[in-house]
Amino acid sequence: MKQLTSFDAFRIGPKHRLADIKPNLKTFKLGGKKEERAQLEVLALELNDLQNRLYAEGQRKVLLVLQGMDTSGKDGTIRWVFSRTSPLGVRVSAFKAPSAQEKARDFLWRCHAVVPAAGELTVWNRSHYEDVLVPVVEGWISKEQTQQRYEHINHFEKLLTDTGTTIVKCMLHISKDEQRNRLQNRLDDPEKNWKFAPEDLTARAKWSDYQQAYDDLLNATSTSYAPWYVIPADDKRQRNLLIAQLLNSTLQRMDMQLPPAAPGLQDVVIE
Amino acid sequence: MKQLTSFDAFRIGPKHRLADIKPNLKTFKLGGKKEERAQLEVLALELNDLQNRLYAEGQRKVLLVLQGMDTSGKDGTIRWVFSRTSPLGVRVSAFKAPSAQEKARDFLWRCHAVVPAAGELTVWNRSHYEDVLVPVVEGWISKEQTQQRYEHINHFEKLLTDTGTTIVKCMLHISKDEQRNRLQNRLDDPEKNWKFAPEDLTARAKWSDYQQAYDDLLNATSTSYAPWYVIPADDKRQRNLLIAQLLNSTLQRMDMQLPPAAPGLQDVVIE
């Protein structure tokens, strides 16, 4: 398989806009479904090894942030990319509309409570970035307040990276047409229609406002220490392959080492 | 494969003692490693389906408690039984020696903080039962205090089951000889010897005290609503198969239902 040596094409730089990256881009030409599934299995097994080493080393932390419009595939990404890792070392936190208790604190409070510990890989299914999306689009906060939140986010992520956390942020980028297909599919399939929430159409009705809010946050918070990657997500397997490669290559670069054995181990006798 | 219709043989009843269950018992005669692995894969995939339904239903909770001496295979059980489930709906909490903050509260505080939410399956890798093991064997608490802790534990588990949690408690039962093999293996294997902690030998030196403490807690806390199962654990694959069957049959009996679709769904048009 084509091993991407650089993810720069998907990384949000100063002049990048969401519209520059096609949601239906196919990065990997592997043949068909069978070959793509097989390749994902290879990557998932490799991620399991890497995660074991991260856990064994027990020093550093990895945080994968997943954002995207409804149906963009956050759950599916987690299901497939982590299909071969153990829940022993992978933890998922999902952020929904904040509770009364959460609203009574600053917007980073609930996120800080669930950052990965040493040796852990944590996935955020939605994140603190929700707080610069809905409130912005709905006009609940001003431009100045939004700007202030970006700064708080950057400082928070700097704190985490300075203390041993590698942050990978992925925005799952789907087209409005593909969202229609997926919502229609939920509506039509009796096994899936419990997932359909009429509220999902509210955000869809403000599609371009959300795209703008994403563009603004991506540009304001894609830092050198915690860059954003925009993942073409109209094709589910291509999406999974790209995120799996990005995550694996990030962990490979961390070059985890097994901790040394306790001193004097050669003299130990087990009665 | 032999489907166990009853797990009574492994369930701690009023007159059951740990010594009545052989650590090297082989419940399943499937042939060899290959057949056992294949069967475990079937069970792991089935558990994935069951967990998806638990998540979809979003009402009830499942808590799997794993206890056992060092090297009894708690991590390995999680790795294999949950090899096909997604971290989306399975959460593992590991309990180590309590921190200063945890010691400053009652012994159930840190456990209560991580009980499963509606739709979740949570695994406790060690648990509140550590607080009726080490302190008992080391003589830090009196017989009366120990008895009081058993009662608190039973009340706490009653609270959880009354509010929709199904609790499955498994004690991984290994022999002292098998522990020696496994510790020696950690000592001999350069890839594993970082796992060897000289402190592991401290508990081993008090093996029979720990067996007694287990016997006492098993008898005091194996209730009708949260029974204990003693899992023969000298053979790793047999252990995994038994726990997987126990967990799957528990989830099957819960008979989860998909939630109904939102009313008026047939009239929805996606623009």
H helix or E strand, kind and range, residue A67? strand A61-68
Cβ-defined contact of A196 to B125 (cutoff 8 Å): no
Chain B residue with Cα closest to A57: B194
Question: Rounded to an integer, what distance in angstroms lies between the CA atom of residue A72 and that of residue A173?
Answer: 7
CA-CA-CA-CA torsion sign (A78, A103, A201, B262): positive
Q: Is A157 helix (H, G, I), strand (E, B) or coil?
A: helix
Best of B86, B99, B195, B267 to mutate (most A CBs within 10 Å, chain A): B86
Q: Is B78 helix (H, G, I), strand (E, B) or coil?
A: helix
Cα–Cα distances in angstroms (integers) from residue A40 to residues A63, A78, A169, A205, B58, in the given order: 20, 12, 20, 34, 29
| pLDDT tier for residue A1 given thresholds of 50, 70 and 90 | low
Query: For residues A211 and B200, which has the higher predicted lDDT (pLDDT)?
Result: A211
- Which residues from chain B sit within 8 angstroms of residue A83, using beta carbons? 84, 86
Q: Span A33-50, mean pLDDT?
A: 96
Q: Is A153 helix (H, G, I), strand (E, B) or coil?
A: helix
Cβ-defined contact of B261 to A204 (cutoff 8 Å): no
pLDDT tens-digit readout, A49-81: 999 999 999 999 999 999 999 999 999 999 999
pLDDT value for B25 = 93
| pLDDT tier for residue B269 given thresholds of 50, 70 and 90 | confident
pLDDT at B152 over 80: yes
- Which residues from chain B sit within 8 angstroms of residue A196, using beta carbons? 261-262, 265, 268
Question: Rounded to an integer, what distance in angstroms lies between the CA atom of residue A21 and that of residue A5?
Answer: 18
CA dihedral B110, B112, B116, B121 (to 10 degrees): 60
Give Cα B229 distance to the centre of its chain: 9
Cβ-defined contact of A260 to B194 (cutoff 8 Å): yes
| pLDDT tier for residue A225 given thresholds of 50, 70 and 90 | very high
pLDDT value for B193 = 85
Query: For residues A266 and A81, which has the higher predicted lDDT (pLDDT)?
Result: A81
List, as one string, the DSSP characters of B27-77: ----SSHHHHHHHHHHHHHHHHHHHHHHHHH-S-EEEEEEEESTTSSHHHH
Gap from B68 CA to chain A (nearest CA, Å): 17
- Which residues from chain A sit within 8 angstroms of residue B183, using beta carbons? 270
pLDDT at A3 over 80: no
pLDDT value for B1 = 63
Question: Rounded to an integer, what distance in angstroms lies between the CA atom of residue A223 and that of residue A215?
Answer: 14
Nearest to A87 among B78, B198, B270 (CB): B78
pLDDT tens-digit readout, B49-64: 999 999 999 999 999 9
φ/ψ of B226, rounded to 5, equals -150, 75
- Which residues from chain B sit within 8 angstroms of residue A123, using beta carbons? 87
Q: If you average pLDDT over every residue of chain B, what do you get?
A: 94
Chain A to chain B, count of Cβ pairs less than 8 Å apart?
A: 96
pLDDT value for B19 = 87
- Which residues from chain A sit within 8 angstroms of residue B268, using beta carbons? 187, 196, 198, 201
Q: Span B171-181, mean pLDDT?
A: 97
Nearest to A261 among B79, B125, B194 (CB): B194
pLDDT tens-digit readout, A147-186: 999 999 999 999 999 999 999 999 999 999 999 999 999 9
Lowest-confidence segment of A145-159, B156-170, B193-207, B231-245 by average pLDDT: B193-207
Question: Rounded to an integer, what distance in angstroms lies between the CA atom of residue A80 and that of residue A108?
Answer: 28
Are A250 and A50 a contacting pair, CB within 8 Å? no
pLDDT value for A264 = 82
Q: Which domains does chain B have, with CATH numbers?
A: 8-177+211-256 (3.40.50.300)
pLDDT at B137 over 80: yes
Chain A residue with Cα closest to B52: A79
pLDDT value for A270 = 87
Cβ-defined contact of A258 to B191 (cutoff 8 Å): yes
Chain A residue with Cα closest to B45: A83
| pLDDT tier for residue A263 given thresholds of 50, 70 and 90 | confident
Lowest-confidence segment of A45-49, B12-16, B150-154, B223-227 by average pLDDT: B12-16
pLDDT at A2 over 80: no
Give all strands of the β-sheet with B61-68 in edge-to-edge order: B90-94, B121-125, B61-68, B165-173, B228-232
Dmax of chain B from CA atoms? Answer: 70
- Which residues from chain A sit within 8 angstroms of residue B187, using beta carbons? 265, 268, 270
The 3-class SS string of B138-170 reads CCCCCHHHHHHHHHHHHHHHHHHHHCCEEEEEE
Chain B residue with Cα closest to A263: B198
pLDDT value for B43 = 97
pLDDT value for A13 = 81
Cβ-defined contact of A198 to B79 (cutoff 8 Å): no
pLDDT value for A266 = 78
Q: Which residues of B120-145 are buried (b: 16+ CB within 10 A; e: fewer)?
A: bbbbbbbbbbbbbbbbbbeeebeeee
Question: Rounded to an integer, what distance in angstroms lies between the CA atom of residue B178 and that of residue B215?
Answer: 19
pLDDT value for B2 = 67
Chain A residue with Cα closest to B93: A88
**Percent of chain A beyond pLDDT 70?**
99
Cβ-defined contact of A125 to B88 (cutoff 8 Å): yes
**Residues of A within an 8 Å Cβ radius of B:** 56, 75, 78-79, 82-88, 90-92, 123, 125, 180, 183-184, 187, 191, 193-194, 196-198, 201, 204-205, 258-262, 264-265, 268, 270-271
- Which residues from chain B sit within 8 angstroms of residue A75, using beta carbons? 88
Neighbours of B101 (CB within 10 A): 9
- Which residues from chain A sit within 8 angstroms of residue B264, using beta carbons? 198
pLDDT value for B52 = 95
pLDDT tens-digit readout, A87-129: 988 999 999 999 999 999 999 999 999 999 999 999 999 999 9
Give the pair of three-digit tokens for residue B163. 């509010």
Burial class (CB in 10 A: 0-12, 13-18, 19+), A160: buried
Dmax of chain A from CA atoms? Answer: 70
